[in-house]
Amino acid sequence: MSSPDIAGYSGMVDVMVIGAGMAGCAAAIAAKRQGASVLLVEKHNYPGGNATRAMVAPWQSYHACVANADGSLPRQVIGGIAQEFVDDLVALGASTGHLVDPIGFAGSITPVDADRLKLYLVDKLEREGVKLALGVELNAYASHRSASQFFLETAKQVVDASGNASATRVLEAAHIIPVDPQPMTWMFTMTGVDYAAVREYQLEHPQQFVLHPAFERLPAEHIAVSGFFNLVREATARGEWTLPRDRLLFFSTPNPGEVLVNTTRIPSDHYYPHAEGLRQINELLRFLPEHVPGFANAHLGRIADELGQRESFRLEGQCRLTVREITEGRSFPDAIARGCYPVDIHGAAGSLIESDEVGGQGWYDIPLGSIVSRDNPCLLAAGRCISADREGFASARVLPIAMATGEAAGMIAAWRALGEKVDTSACLSHVSLV
Protein backbone atom coordinates (compact mmCIF):
# COMPACT_ATOMS: atom_id res chain seq x y z
CA MET A 1 0.00 0.00 0.00
CA SER A 2 1.41 3.39 -0.95
CA SER A 3 1.75 6.09 1.66
CA PRO A 4 -0.54 9.14 1.59
CA ASP A 5 0.40 12.19 -0.43
CA ILE A 6 1.26 14.97 2.01
CA ALA A 7 1.25 18.44 0.47
CA GLY A 8 2.87 17.22 -2.73
CA TYR A 9 5.31 14.78 -1.10
CA SER A 10 4.70 11.05 -1.46
CA GLY A 11 6.89 8.28 -0.09
CA MET A 12 8.35 6.85 3.09
CA VAL A 13 10.68 9.12 5.04
CA ASP A 14 13.08 8.26 7.82
CA VAL A 15 11.91 11.04 10.11
CA MET A 16 8.68 13.04 10.15
CA VAL A 17 8.68 16.13 12.37
CA ILE A 18 5.28 17.47 13.38
CA GLY A 19 5.35 21.21 14.02
CA ALA A 20 7.67 23.75 12.39
CA GLY A 21 8.21 25.90 15.45
CA MET A 22 11.77 26.58 16.53
CA ALA A 23 12.08 23.12 18.12
CA GLY A 24 10.69 21.42 15.03
CA CYS A 25 12.97 23.34 12.67
CA ALA A 26 16.00 22.40 14.78
CA ALA A 27 14.87 18.77 14.86
CA ALA A 28 14.37 18.59 11.10
CA ILE A 29 17.74 20.14 10.31
CA ALA A 30 19.52 17.91 12.83
CA ALA A 31 17.93 14.74 11.44
CA LYS A 32 18.80 15.74 7.88
CA ARG A 33 22.42 16.38 8.82
CA GLN A 34 22.64 12.86 10.23
CA GLY A 35 21.74 11.48 6.82
CA ALA A 36 18.02 10.87 7.28
CA SER A 37 15.29 11.82 4.85
CA VAL A 38 13.03 14.31 6.61
CA LEU A 39 9.55 15.73 6.19
CA LEU A 40 8.57 18.70 8.36
CA VAL A 41 4.79 19.15 8.65
CA GLU A 42 3.23 22.42 9.87
CA LYS A 43 -0.48 23.22 10.10
CA HIS A 44 0.02 26.98 9.72
CA ASN A 45 1.15 28.88 6.65
CA TYR A 46 4.63 29.79 7.87
CA PRO A 47 7.20 28.31 10.26
CA GLY A 48 8.48 29.58 13.60
CA GLY A 49 5.68 28.64 15.98
CA ASN A 50 5.41 30.86 19.03
CA ALA A 51 8.48 32.81 17.93
CA THR A 52 6.69 34.06 14.79
CA ARG A 53 2.93 33.63 15.17
CA ALA A 54 2.86 34.76 18.80
CA MET A 55 5.96 37.03 18.52
CA VAL A 56 7.50 35.47 21.64
CA ALA A 57 10.77 37.30 22.28
CA PRO A 58 13.36 37.99 23.43
CA TRP A 59 14.67 34.44 23.49
CA GLN A 60 15.71 33.49 27.02
CA SER A 61 18.26 32.11 27.84
CA TYR A 62 21.34 30.71 26.14
CA HIS A 63 23.51 31.43 29.17
CA ALA A 64 23.91 30.14 32.70
CA CYS A 65 21.25 31.38 35.07
CA VAL A 66 23.47 33.70 37.12
CA ALA A 67 23.92 37.47 37.24
CA ASN A 68 27.57 38.51 37.16
CA ALA A 69 28.28 41.52 39.36
CA ASP A 70 30.46 43.10 36.68
CA GLY A 71 27.63 43.08 34.12
CA SER A 72 29.26 40.52 31.83
CA LEU A 73 27.45 37.65 30.13
CA PRO A 74 27.50 34.40 32.11
CA ARG A 75 28.92 31.24 30.56
CA GLN A 76 27.00 30.17 27.47
CA VAL A 77 25.27 26.81 27.86
CA ILE A 78 23.21 26.28 24.71
CA GLY A 79 24.96 26.11 21.35
CA GLY A 80 24.46 23.93 18.29
CA ILE A 81 21.71 24.77 15.82
CA ALA A 82 20.09 27.15 18.33
CA GLN A 83 23.24 29.30 18.23
CA GLU A 84 23.52 28.88 14.47
CA PHE A 85 20.07 30.44 14.10
CA VAL A 86 21.21 33.47 16.11
CA ASP A 87 24.44 33.86 14.13
CA ASP A 88 22.47 33.84 10.88
CA LEU A 89 19.86 36.30 12.16
CA VAL A 90 22.52 38.70 13.41
CA ALA A 91 24.12 38.64 9.95
CA LEU A 92 20.71 39.52 8.47
CA GLY A 93 20.11 42.36 10.93
CA ALA A 94 17.18 40.42 12.40
CA SER A 95 18.71 39.98 15.87
CA THR A 96 21.00 41.90 18.19
CA GLY A 97 22.66 38.71 19.40
CA HIS A 98 22.94 37.89 23.08
CA LEU A 99 22.63 40.63 25.69
CA VAL A 100 22.84 40.56 29.47
CA ASP A 101 19.28 40.49 30.83
CA PRO A 102 18.73 43.97 32.36
CA ILE A 103 16.05 42.46 34.59
CA GLY A 104 18.51 39.91 35.95
CA PHE A 105 15.99 37.06 35.80
CA ALA A 106 17.64 35.10 32.99
CA GLY A 107 21.32 34.86 32.14
CA SER A 108 20.74 36.57 28.80
CA ILE A 109 18.14 37.82 26.37
CA THR A 110 18.30 37.59 22.58
CA PRO A 111 15.98 40.02 20.74
CA VAL A 112 14.70 38.71 17.39
CA ASP A 113 12.48 40.25 14.70
CA ALA A 114 9.54 37.87 14.21
CA ASP A 115 8.68 38.77 10.61
CA ARG A 116 12.23 38.45 9.31
CA LEU A 117 12.50 35.17 11.22
CA LYS A 118 9.68 33.69 9.11
CA LEU A 119 11.52 34.38 5.87
CA TYR A 120 14.85 33.22 7.26
CA LEU A 121 13.47 29.85 8.38
CA VAL A 122 11.90 29.03 5.01
CA ASP A 123 15.21 29.79 3.30
CA LYS A 124 17.25 27.90 5.91
CA LEU A 125 15.14 24.76 5.66
CA GLU A 126 15.31 24.81 1.87
CA ARG A 127 19.11 25.17 1.92
CA GLU A 128 19.35 22.27 4.37
CA GLY A 129 17.29 20.03 2.09
CA VAL A 130 14.38 19.64 4.51
CA LYS A 131 11.02 19.04 2.83
CA LEU A 132 8.56 21.49 4.36
CA ALA A 133 4.80 20.92 4.16
CA LEU A 134 2.99 24.09 5.26
CA GLY A 135 -0.74 24.44 5.86
CA VAL A 136 -1.13 20.71 6.52
CA GLU A 137 -3.44 19.52 9.30
CA LEU A 138 -2.14 16.24 10.69
CA ASN A 139 -5.58 14.90 11.56
CA ALA A 140 -6.87 15.46 8.03
CA TYR A 141 -4.32 12.99 6.69
CA ALA A 142 -4.50 10.51 9.54
CA SER A 143 -8.30 10.26 9.76
CA HIS A 144 -8.84 8.03 6.76
CA ARG A 145 -7.05 5.10 8.43
CA SER A 146 -5.76 4.31 11.89
CA ALA A 147 -3.17 6.79 13.09
CA SER A 148 -0.66 4.03 13.77
CA GLN A 149 -1.07 2.72 10.22
CA PHE A 150 -0.72 6.23 8.83
CA PHE A 151 2.61 6.81 10.54
CA LEU A 152 3.79 3.26 9.80
CA GLU A 153 3.33 3.93 6.10
CA THR A 154 4.86 7.40 6.18
CA ALA A 155 7.81 7.57 8.59
CA LYS A 156 10.13 5.31 10.53
CA GLN A 157 10.39 7.83 13.39
CA VAL A 158 8.16 10.71 14.46
CA VAL A 159 9.27 13.79 16.39
CA ASP A 160 6.36 15.61 18.03
CA ALA A 161 7.30 19.29 18.12
CA SER A 162 3.73 20.51 17.76
CA GLY A 163 3.66 22.45 21.04
CA ASN A 164 0.50 20.63 22.16
CA ALA A 165 1.43 16.96 21.67
CA SER A 166 -0.84 16.62 18.64
CA ALA A 167 1.12 13.71 17.12
CA THR A 168 1.39 12.03 20.50
CA ARG A 169 -2.37 12.20 20.97
CA VAL A 170 -3.16 11.10 17.40
CA LEU A 171 -0.93 8.08 18.03
CA GLU A 172 -2.76 7.47 21.33
CA ALA A 173 0.57 7.43 23.15
CA ALA A 174 0.71 8.22 26.86
CA HIS A 175 0.64 11.94 27.50
CA ILE A 176 0.40 14.48 30.30
CA ILE A 177 -2.71 16.62 30.66
CA PRO A 178 -1.87 19.92 32.39
CA VAL A 179 -3.78 20.93 35.50
CA ASP A 180 -4.50 24.67 35.86
CA PRO A 181 -2.39 25.62 32.81
CA GLN A 182 -0.48 28.87 32.88
CA PRO A 183 -2.25 31.86 31.31
CA MET A 184 -1.77 32.97 27.73
CA THR A 185 -0.32 36.25 26.51
CA TRP A 186 -1.13 38.32 23.43
CA MET A 187 2.04 40.15 22.44
CA PHE A 188 2.14 43.43 20.56
CA THR A 189 4.71 46.06 19.64
CA MET A 190 4.83 49.81 20.10
CA THR A 191 7.06 52.08 18.06
CA GLY A 192 8.38 55.57 18.72
CA VAL A 193 9.45 54.72 22.28
CA ASP A 194 12.17 56.89 23.84
CA TYR A 195 14.54 54.31 25.33
CA ALA A 196 16.62 56.98 27.07
CA ALA A 197 13.60 58.30 28.97
CA VAL A 198 12.65 54.80 30.12
CA ARG A 199 16.17 54.04 31.30
CA GLU A 200 16.51 57.41 33.04
CA TYR A 201 13.35 56.69 35.03
CA GLN A 202 14.66 53.24 35.95
CA LEU A 203 17.92 54.74 37.23
CA GLU A 204 16.07 57.40 39.24
CA HIS A 205 13.46 54.99 40.70
CA PRO A 206 15.20 51.60 41.05
CA GLN A 207 12.77 50.51 43.77
CA GLN A 208 10.00 50.37 41.15
CA PHE A 209 11.76 47.70 39.07
CA VAL A 210 13.38 44.31 39.08
CA LEU A 211 16.94 45.08 37.99
CA HIS A 212 20.20 43.29 37.28
CA PRO A 213 22.70 44.05 40.10
CA ALA A 214 24.97 45.76 37.57
CA PHE A 215 22.15 47.56 35.75
CA GLU A 216 23.97 50.91 35.60
CA ARG A 217 26.84 49.29 33.67
CA LEU A 218 24.68 47.67 31.01
CA PRO A 219 24.44 49.16 27.48
CA ALA A 220 21.81 51.87 27.17
CA GLU A 221 20.74 51.12 23.58
CA HIS A 222 18.54 48.19 24.65
CA ILE A 223 15.98 48.14 27.44
CA ALA A 224 14.05 45.55 29.39
CA VAL A 225 11.45 46.47 31.97
CA SER A 226 9.76 44.48 34.70
CA GLY A 227 8.17 47.01 36.98
CA PHE A 228 6.62 50.45 37.17
CA PHE A 229 5.02 48.92 40.25
CA ASN A 230 3.90 52.22 41.75
CA LEU A 231 2.32 53.42 38.50
CA VAL A 232 0.38 50.17 38.16
CA ARG A 233 -0.66 50.21 41.83
CA GLU A 234 -1.92 53.78 41.61
CA ALA A 235 -3.73 53.15 38.32
CA THR A 236 -5.38 50.08 39.82
CA ALA A 237 -6.65 52.17 42.73
CA ARG A 238 -8.09 54.71 40.27
CA GLY A 239 -9.78 51.98 38.24
CA GLU A 240 -7.60 52.68 35.17
CA TRP A 241 -5.79 49.33 35.35
CA THR A 242 -7.83 46.13 35.31
CA LEU A 243 -5.26 43.65 33.99
CA PRO A 244 -4.41 40.76 36.34
CA ARG A 245 -0.83 41.99 36.64
CA ASP A 246 1.17 43.97 39.18
CA ARG A 247 3.67 45.33 36.64
CA LEU A 248 4.53 46.26 33.09
CA LEU A 249 6.81 43.89 31.18
CA PHE A 250 8.34 44.94 27.87
CA PHE A 251 11.59 44.58 25.91
CA SER A 252 13.29 46.47 23.11
CA THR A 253 13.51 44.69 19.75
CA PRO A 254 16.23 44.81 17.05
CA ASN A 255 14.28 47.73 15.52
CA PRO A 256 15.16 51.18 16.99
CA GLY A 257 12.43 52.76 19.11
CA GLU A 258 10.32 49.59 19.16
CA VAL A 259 9.32 47.56 22.22
CA LEU A 260 7.57 44.23 22.52
CA VAL A 261 4.94 44.33 25.26
CA ASN A 262 4.46 41.13 27.28
CA THR A 263 1.90 42.34 29.81
CA THR A 264 -1.48 40.86 28.88
CA ARG A 265 -2.58 37.78 30.79
CA ILE A 266 -5.55 35.71 29.59
CA PRO A 267 -6.67 32.68 31.62
CA SER A 268 -6.27 29.47 29.63
CA ASP A 269 -9.89 28.56 30.33
CA HIS A 270 -11.34 31.97 29.42
CA TYR A 271 -14.54 31.55 27.44
CA TYR A 272 -13.65 34.36 25.01
CA PRO A 273 -9.83 34.57 25.18
CA HIS A 274 -9.34 36.63 22.02
CA ALA A 275 -11.91 39.24 23.01
CA GLU A 276 -10.32 39.47 26.45
CA GLY A 277 -6.84 39.76 24.94
CA LEU A 278 -7.89 42.61 22.66
CA ARG A 279 -9.60 44.36 25.57
CA GLN A 280 -6.36 44.22 27.55
CA ILE A 281 -4.31 45.47 24.59
CA ASN A 282 -6.69 48.40 24.19
CA GLU A 283 -6.32 49.26 27.85
CA LEU A 284 -2.53 49.19 27.57
CA LEU A 285 -2.58 51.35 24.43
CA ARG A 286 -4.44 54.01 26.41
CA PHE A 287 -2.34 53.65 29.56
CA LEU A 288 1.20 53.60 28.18
CA PRO A 289 1.31 56.98 26.35
CA GLU A 290 -0.55 58.73 29.13
CA HIS A 291 1.35 57.45 32.16
CA VAL A 292 4.65 55.77 31.29
CA PRO A 293 7.88 57.72 30.71
CA GLY A 294 9.21 57.30 27.18
CA PHE A 295 5.83 56.51 25.62
CA ALA A 296 4.41 59.99 25.03
CA ASN A 297 4.88 59.73 21.25
CA ALA A 298 4.57 55.94 20.97
CA HIS A 299 1.93 54.18 18.91
CA LEU A 300 0.85 50.65 18.07
CA GLY A 301 3.18 48.73 15.80
CA ARG A 302 1.59 45.33 15.24
CA ILE A 303 -0.32 42.69 17.17
CA ALA A 304 0.82 39.07 17.08
CA ASP A 305 -1.17 36.73 14.85
CA GLU A 306 -2.22 34.56 17.76
CA LEU A 307 -2.13 34.18 21.51
CA GLY A 308 1.06 32.84 23.04
CA GLN A 309 0.34 29.58 24.85
CA ARG A 310 2.63 28.68 27.74
CA GLU A 311 1.38 25.21 28.61
CA SER A 312 -0.53 22.40 26.94
CA PHE A 313 -0.47 18.62 26.50
CA ARG A 314 2.94 16.95 26.45
CA LEU A 315 4.50 13.51 26.10
CA GLU A 316 4.62 10.99 28.92
CA GLY A 317 8.20 9.91 28.53
CA GLN A 318 10.32 7.22 30.09
CA CYS A 319 10.99 9.78 32.81
CA ARG A 320 9.89 13.33 33.68
CA LEU A 321 12.14 16.32 34.10
CA THR A 322 11.36 17.56 37.62
CA VAL A 323 11.76 20.79 39.55
CA ARG A 324 14.22 19.10 41.93
CA GLU A 325 16.57 18.36 39.07
CA ILE A 326 16.47 22.01 38.04
CA THR A 327 16.90 23.57 41.47
CA GLU A 328 19.78 21.18 42.21
CA GLY A 329 21.42 21.64 38.80
CA ARG A 330 21.30 17.87 38.35
CA SER A 331 23.54 15.89 35.98
CA PHE A 332 22.54 12.69 34.13
CA PRO A 333 24.76 10.08 32.43
CA ASP A 334 22.35 10.01 29.47
CA ALA A 335 21.88 13.79 29.15
CA ILE A 336 20.95 14.91 25.64
CA ALA A 337 20.76 18.69 26.24
CA ARG A 338 21.05 21.28 28.98
CA GLY A 339 18.70 23.97 30.22
CA CYS A 340 19.47 27.26 31.94
CA TYR A 341 16.26 29.15 32.71
CA PRO A 342 14.56 29.55 36.11
CA VAL A 343 11.31 27.86 36.99
CA ASP A 344 8.80 30.53 35.90
CA ILE A 345 5.14 29.87 36.68
CA HIS A 346 2.52 32.52 35.97
CA GLY A 347 -0.55 31.87 38.08
CA ALA A 348 -3.60 30.62 36.21
CA ALA A 349 -5.50 33.63 37.58
CA GLY A 350 -4.31 36.85 39.17
CA SER A 351 -0.85 38.42 39.15
CA LEU A 352 0.99 35.71 41.10
CA ILE A 353 4.34 34.58 39.67
CA GLU A 354 6.15 31.63 41.24
CA SER A 355 9.83 31.12 40.52
CA ASP A 356 12.74 28.93 41.57
CA GLU A 357 16.38 29.43 40.74
CA VAL A 358 18.51 26.96 38.81
CA GLY A 359 20.96 25.28 41.13
CA GLY A 360 24.57 24.22 40.69
CA GLN A 361 26.43 26.31 38.14
CA GLY A 362 23.28 27.79 36.64
CA TRP A 363 22.30 24.94 34.31
CA TYR A 364 20.87 21.44 34.47
CA ASP A 365 20.84 18.27 32.37
CA ILE A 366 17.85 17.06 30.36
CA PRO A 367 17.83 13.25 30.30
CA LEU A 368 17.13 11.05 27.28
CA GLY A 369 14.01 9.60 28.90
CA SER A 370 12.27 12.98 28.89
CA ILE A 371 12.11 13.06 25.07
CA VAL A 372 11.46 9.36 24.39
CA SER A 373 7.92 7.99 24.52
CA ARG A 374 7.12 5.60 27.33
CA ASP A 375 5.03 3.31 25.15
CA ASN A 376 5.77 4.03 21.47
CA PRO A 377 9.27 3.10 20.21
CA CYS A 378 8.88 5.31 17.12
CA LEU A 379 7.95 8.52 18.93
CA LEU A 380 10.07 11.32 20.41
CA ALA A 381 9.18 14.79 21.65
CA ALA A 382 10.82 18.20 21.42
CA GLY A 383 10.21 21.70 22.71
CA ARG A 384 7.02 22.17 24.72
CA CYS A 385 6.09 18.51 24.16
CA ILE A 386 8.86 16.98 26.31
CA SER A 387 8.04 14.99 29.42
CA ALA A 388 8.22 17.13 32.56
CA ASP A 389 6.31 17.86 35.72
CA ARG A 390 4.55 21.20 36.04
CA GLU A 391 7.50 23.01 37.63
CA GLY A 392 10.14 21.39 35.43
CA PHE A 393 8.13 22.30 32.36
CA ALA A 394 7.97 25.92 33.56
CA SER A 395 11.72 26.12 32.94
CA ALA A 396 12.15 23.88 29.91
CA ARG A 397 9.35 25.53 27.88
CA VAL A 398 11.40 28.54 26.71
CA LEU A 399 12.70 28.84 23.15
CA PRO A 400 16.48 28.23 23.45
CA ILE A 401 15.85 25.07 25.49
CA ALA A 402 13.14 24.03 23.03
CA MET A 403 15.64 24.35 20.18
CA ALA A 404 18.19 22.31 22.15
CA THR A 405 15.76 19.46 22.77
CA GLY A 406 14.66 19.74 19.15
CA GLU A 407 18.19 19.24 17.84
CA ALA A 408 18.67 16.30 20.21
CA ALA A 409 15.39 14.67 19.22
CA GLY A 410 16.22 15.07 15.52
CA MET A 411 19.62 13.45 15.90
CA ILE A 412 18.27 10.54 17.92
CA ALA A 413 15.31 10.00 15.58
CA ALA A 414 17.71 9.84 12.63
CA TRP A 415 19.99 7.33 14.35
CA ARG A 416 17.04 5.15 15.27
CA ALA A 417 15.55 5.33 11.78
CA LEU A 418 18.87 4.45 10.16
CA GLY A 419 19.59 1.61 12.59
CA GLU A 420 22.57 3.36 14.15
CA LYS A 421 23.58 3.44 17.81
CA VAL A 422 22.12 6.25 19.89
CA ASP A 423 25.09 8.15 21.35
CA THR A 424 23.85 10.59 23.97
CA SER A 425 27.32 11.96 24.67
CA ALA A 426 27.76 12.86 20.99
CA CYS A 427 24.30 14.44 21.03
CA LEU A 428 25.11 16.52 24.10
CA SER A 429 28.40 17.72 22.60
CA HIS A 430 26.51 19.02 19.55
CA VAL A 431 23.82 20.80 21.55
CA SER A 432 25.59 22.13 24.63
CA LEU A 433 28.70 24.26 25.14
CA VAL A 434 29.36 23.04 28.71
Residue 331 lies in a domain: yes
387 and 253 both lie in a single domain: no
Q: Cα–Cα distances in Å, from 357 out to 187, 271, 275, 343, 434?
A: 26, 34, 35, 6, 19
Which residues does 433 contact at the CB level (< 8 Å), separation at least 6?
75, 76, 77, 78, 79, 83
Domain end marker among 269, 303, 337: 303
Per the model's pLDDT, the better-predicted residue between 334 and 7 turns out to be: 334
376-386 per-position pLDDT tens digit? 999 999 999 99
209 and 166 both lie in a single domain: no
Query: In this predicted structure, what is the pLDDT of residue 151?
Result: 73
Residue 1 lies in a domain: no
40 and 114 both lie in a single domain: yes
36 and 51 both lie in a single domain: yes
Domain end marker among 237, 271, 303: 303
Please, which pLDDT band fits residue 350 given cuts at 50, 70 and 90? Answer: low
**Is 53's pLDDT higher than 60?**
yes
Domain end marker among 303, 323, 344: 303
How many structural domains does the chain have? Answer: 2
| DSSP string across 69-128 | TTS----B-B-HHHHHHHHHHHHTTSB---EE-TTSSSSEEB-B-HHHHHHHHHHHHHHH
Query: In this predicted structure, what is the pLDDT of residue 120?
Result: 98
CA angle at residue 278 from 277 to 284, to 5 degrees?
95
The model's pTM: 0.95
Residue 8 lies in a domain: no
Q: Go through the chain and tell me how many residues it has.
A: 434
222 and 323 both lie in a single domain: no
174 and 41 both lie in a single domain: yes
Q: What is the CATH number of the domain that holds 406?
A: 3.50.50.60
Domain that holds residue 413: 13-181+311-431
Query: In this predicted structure, what is the pLDDT of residue 346?
Result: 65
